[in-house]
Amino acid sequence: MNRYTKYKIRYYYNYDYIEHNYDKWRLKVHEITISFLKKIKEQFGIDYELWPFRSGEEELIYTEHFASRGSLLNKIHDITVRNALKSRKGHVYLNDTIALVYDNNVIWYDKGWSRDFNIWKEELERFSRINNIPRYYMNLSLGFLLHILNNKEYLYNLINKIENYIETNRTNRRITYGNKSHDLLVFKVIEEKINKINNIAILVEVPLGTSIIKESFNKVLINNRYRDSIINTVLSSYPPRADMIVVYNPKNIAPGIYPCARGSKHAYRLMKLYTSRFPNNHVEILDSNFFPCTNVTGTSFEIIEVKTDNVDEKAIGQLLAYEILLKLESGSNNIIKTLVTTTDIYERINPLFHIIFKELNINVEYL
C-alpha cells in the first residue's frame, strides 16, 4: 500500500441538476466524471468520495470546506479561495469542483490551480472531439481527471508539491490540516448554547464582506463595517461590538437564532445559510433597514466575544463597553461577559490576563 492512499479525491456537484435530469449532456458529463474517478481508484489506489449538495447549500460548504482553510489554501494555490469560488456579487460557484482531501480536510482544489488550466483545456478539446460531446458542457475538473489518467506521475507529483510546501513553510505556529475560522467558531458557540440551554434567543453579529456573506461590493468598499444584532440604535452605532448576545428567557421574541441583516438580499442569503446550518431551530432574520430599533428584553443577558487570532486588551475593552451600554439600554444588571477562543489561542494567553479576567468577572472558554 503506497503512502498516497491516505488521500482522497472529492467531487462536489449540485444534485438538483442530476435529479431533475433536464439536460442530457450535463448528466452525461457527470457520469463520465464518476467513471474517471473509479478508474483513478483502480490505477492509483486513491479513493474518491461524492459530495452532492442542494441549491442554497453552497455558501455553507464554501465557508466550512474552503474559506475556513483559506490561510493554507491561498498560499498553495495561484488564485485565492474568494476569487476562485465566488463572483463579485458573492455567488458561490461550487458545482463540478474537484478537491484533494486529507483527514477529511481539503488541502487542494482544481479551481485555484490556474497554472495547469491550459493543459487541462487541451485534454478536454481532444476528448470532446473523439467523443462528440459539445465543448460547452465540458469543465476543467474533467480535464484535470483526464490529465491524471493520461499522465501517471501527474497526481503523485501534485501531492508531492503540496506536501513539500506544507513541510517547508512550517512556522513556530505549526501549519496543520485543520483550521477553525472565526465564522465556524461562531457557529460552534451557537450550537453549544442552543443544544444545552432552553428558552434562549441568540442575537448574532454578521459581518458584511466576509467569507459568510458579501452584500454589496460598493457598500463594503465605502463602509467595510460590521452590522450587529444589537439591542437598539445607540448600541448599533457604537464602535465596540460583541459577536453575540444571548437573551435568557426572552419576553418579546421567540427563543431561537436571530442573525442581523442589512437589506432584503442580505436577509435572503442569511436565511438560507442559517436554516441549512440549524434546521431544527427557529431562525429569524432581523433586517436593520426595516427594524432599526430592536428592543429585546429577558431575565438576563450574556455578551459573547469570539477571538480566533489573539486575545488582547481590545477584546476586554469591547466586553466592558458593551456591558455598560447594555445596562443603560436594558436596565438589567444581570449581564454575563464571556470570551470564547480556540484551544491553541487559549494556551498562549498572557497569564496576567487571567488575573484581569477574574477581577472583571469575564468568563473565558475555549472550543
Q: Could you tell me the CATH number of the domain that includes residue 314?
A: 3.40.1350
User: Which residue range is the domain that position 294 belongs to?
Assistant: 182-366
Q: Is there a single domain that holds both residue 155 and residue 74?
A: yes
Q: What residues contact 92, with CB distance under 8 A and at least 6 apart?
A: 58, 59, 61, 62, 85, 86
Alpha helical stretches, state H, the chain: 15-20, 24-44, 58-61, 70-76, 81-85, 117-131, 140-150, 152-168, 182-196, 217-222, 233-236, 264-277, 313-330, 343-347, 351-359
* Domain co-membership, 302 together with 269: yes
Check: CB of residue 232 under 8 Å from CB of residue 295. Answer: yes
Last residue of a domain, one of 168, 198, 218: 168
Sheet of 244-248, strand order: 286-287, 256-261, 200-204, 244-248, 300-307, 335-341, 362-366
Same domain (yes/no): 206, 67: no
Looking at the structure of the chain, the number of domains it has is 2
| Cα-based angle 311, 316, 321 (whole degrees, multiple of 5) | 150
More reliable by pLDDT, 223 or 358: 358
Q: Residue 179 — pLDDT band, cuts 50, 70, 90?
A: very low
Angle at 227 between CA 225 and CA 228, to 5 degrees: 135
**In a shared domain, residues 133 and 246:** no
**What is the reported pLDDT for 313?**
84
Strands 362-366 and 244-248: unpaired
209 and 266 in a single domain? The answer is yes
Q: Same domain, yes or no, for 131 and 78?
A: yes
Has residue 95 been placed in a domain? yes
**Does 189 lie in the same domain as 144?**
no
Give domain status of residue 174, yes or no. no
- Mean pLDDT on 117-123: 90
- Asked whether residue 157 falls in the same domain as residue 63, the answer is yes
pLDDT band at 230 (very low <50, low <70, confident <90, very high): very low
pLDDT of residue 131: 81
Please state, in angstroms and rounded to a whole number, the distance separating the CA atoms of residues 290 and 279. 25
Is 194 a residue whose pLDDT tops 70?
Answer: yes
| Together in a domain, 195 and 256 | yes
Q: Is the pLDDT of residue 129 over 50?
A: yes
The domain boundary, picked from 168, 193, 219, lies at: 168
Model pLDDT, residue 40: 94
Q: What is the mean pLDDT of the chain?
A: 78
**Which of 133, 168, 203 is the C-terminal boundary of a domain?**
168
Give a yes or no: residue 307 inside a domain: yes
Residue 270, classed as helix, strand or coil, is: helix
pLDDT at 275 over 60: yes
Q: Give SS3 for 168.
A: helix
* pLDDT at residue 4, as a whole number: 85
Flag whether 173 is in a domain: no
Per cent of the chain over pLDDT 70 is 80
Q: Grid coordinates representing 219?
A: 457598500
Is 188 in the same domain as 156?
no
Query: Predicted confidence band at 292 (pLDDT cuts at 50, 70, 90)?
Result: very low
Average pLDDT over residues 65-90: 87
> 73 and 211 share a domain?
no
End-to-end alpha carbon distance in the chain: 36
Q: Are residues 56 and 163 in the same domain?
A: yes
pLDDT digits (tens, 9 = 90+) for 319-364: 888 888 778 777 788 899 999 988 777 877 888 888 999 999 999 9
Share of the chain above pLDDT 90, in %: 25
